[in-house]
Chains A and B, each alone.
Chain A
Amino acid sequence: MWLARLKWGAALVVAGGAVGWWLTAPDLLPDDYLTAHSGDAAAGESVFIAAGCASCHTAPGAEYVEGPPVLAGGQRFETAFGTFIAPNISTDPDHGIGGWSDQQLVNAIQRGISPGGAHYYPAFPYTAYARATAQDMADLVAYMRTLPAEATPSRPHEVGFPFNIRRSLGGWKMLFADEDWVVTGDLDPRVERGRYLVEALGHCGECHTPRNALGGLDRGNWLTGAENPDGEGRIPGITPAELGWSAPDIAAYLESGFTPDFDTAGGSMVAVIENTSRLPEEDRAAIAAYLTALP
């Protein structure tokens, strides 16, 4: 009797494990995802700037300089789950992404899956990039291929048990990765462009939206401000109720870094302004239109 029960128990554990394994398996993009899109490097530079890639992937302490960024990696991001270290994503074939196919690179950016099939940690904002268009991704990849190679090895993340079990990130993705737009409904074209810049490429919600205990974004409190993962200070809310700035003030802030009171951006927002100051003026206006249209 007890033996039969044990057998059933074992069978259930095996079946449960198999279901878990299947549920946490990487969910790749379709093989023909990029087929209809040929990449344009010049257009890709705008995508790269709007997506803020250089802010995290240039070397620590590297000041913004004119010219193509060197994506050597090495910046450290301290969080409650451990310290994540941005990898080298330059075109170096050994230490960067030079040896990856376009499809592999886009699976990394939009699905958070490495060429070897491992899940990336969501410190890399692939859950936001998942909302980007295939054409923008093709352009982005074409641009990244033009950037200089740099042979700095990527360093492993400093993450302890249990967060070091990458397979478990499959479960995290199932629970929290959500490709749907946060703001829905009938939007005018400018607000819709702003939504694309804020919710997809700009990944603003990654810092400005609070997270639950497992690090999933609390979409019900979208952009209402959050704890600073570095531990000090607080990331401000940017909804109309939290911020209260006019659309022209927001657009001007994204260009010059000056608040309506003529204080300036600080902390990580300085790197964001380096990017937004290089966007076309219509894009800054679109971000402002979206933010001021938030509930």
Chain B
Amino acid sequence: MKRLATALTVLSVAGFGTTALAQDDVDPAIAAAMKARQAHMQLYAHNIGVLGGMARERIPYDADAAQAAASNIAALTTLNQSTYWPEGSDTSVEGSKALPAIWENLDDVMSKSEDLVMAAAAMEDAAGQGLGALQGAMGGLGGACGACHEDYRLSDD
């Protein structure tokens, strides 16, 4: 029991340490929301990595794996993200690349996110149907991601 408590303390201190390094003096609610949405983006990237790896022929095409990744992406696009994007979590906060324009154009953001749902659904239909079909759907998916990143994400590489 004592050992568990110590382990938890060590873990929480370690966790706090990294958070403090990355986001000093940030409202914890905003920091948590940023973490959630960045993790959401990471889940997209991981699953798109499976599809893209096949599309670029870095890894062999596998219909089941492609289908699973595409279904994950489609499911992710339908999650309700309203609590991920609190006001004040824009680029004024260190670690945030979310431009203030998001909160000034919420209708446009929503319409672009609906386009993403459509593009992900098209990929879900295509991914298991052969390498050519998967490759054909990549551009549409990339375009839907990029449509939001064009106006609403800080460009900085």
Please give the residue numbers on chain A whose beta carbons come within 8 Å of chain B beta carbons, in ascending order. Answer: 63, 228, 232-236, 248-249, 252, 255-258, 261-271, 273-274, 277
Contact = CB atoms under 8 A, between A and B. Distances in A.
18 contacts: A228-B155, A235-B155, A252-B56, A256-B138, A256-B139, A257-B142, A257-B145, A257-B146, A262-B49, A262-B52, A264-B146, A264-B149, A265-B149, A266-B146, A267-B153, A270-B147, A270-B149, A271-B150
A255 B135 CA distance: 11
B87 interface: no
Contacts of B150: 265-268, 270-271
B132 to A, nearest CB: 14
A233 B155 contact: yes
A232 B154 contact: yes
Contacts of A266: 146, 149-150, 153-155
B58 to A, nearest CB: 9
A233 B150 CA distance: 13
Given A234-B157, A256-B141, A265-B150, 20 more contacts: A232-B99, A232-B154, A233-B154, A233-B156, A234-B155, A235-B155, A236-B157, A256-B52, A258-B145, A261-B49, A262-B52, A264-B149, A265-B142, A266-B150, A267-B149, A267-B150, A267-B155, A270-B146, A273-B142, A274-B143
Contact of B52 (A235, A258, A273): A258
Q: Interface majority SS on B: helix, strand, loop or mixed?
A: helix
A52 B50 CA distance: 31
A249 B155 contact: no
Contact of A258 (B99, B142, B157): B142
B93 to A, nearest CB: 14
Given A266-B153, A267-B149, A271-B150, A255 B45 contact: no
B78 interface: no
B70 interface: no
Bin the interface of chain B by size.
20 to 34
B55 A265 contact: no
B97 to A, nearest CB: 8
A205 B155 CA distance: 17
Contacts of A264: 142, 145-146, 149
Contacts of A233: 154-156
B120 interface: no
Contacts of A270: 146-147, 149-150
A60 to B, nearest CB: 11
Contacts of B156: 232-234
B53 to A, nearest CB: 8
A22 B107 CA distance: 54
Nearest to B147: A270
Contacts of A261: 45, 49
B81 interface: no
Given A236-B157, A270-B149, A271-B150, A257 B143 contact: yes
A258 B155 contact: no
Given A257-B146, A264-B145, A269 B155 contact: yes
Contacts of A248: 56
Nearest to B44: A262
A256 B55 CA distance: 10
B66 interface: no
B91 to A, nearest CB: 7
B48 interface: yes
A257 B55 CA distance: 13
Contacts of A274: 143
A258 B149 contact: no
Contact of A263 (B45, B91, B141): B45
Nearest to A252: B56
B142 A256 contact: yes
Interface in B22-73: 45, 48-49, 52, 55-56
B61 to A, nearest CB: 15
A264 B143 CA distance: 9
A266 B149 CA distance: 5
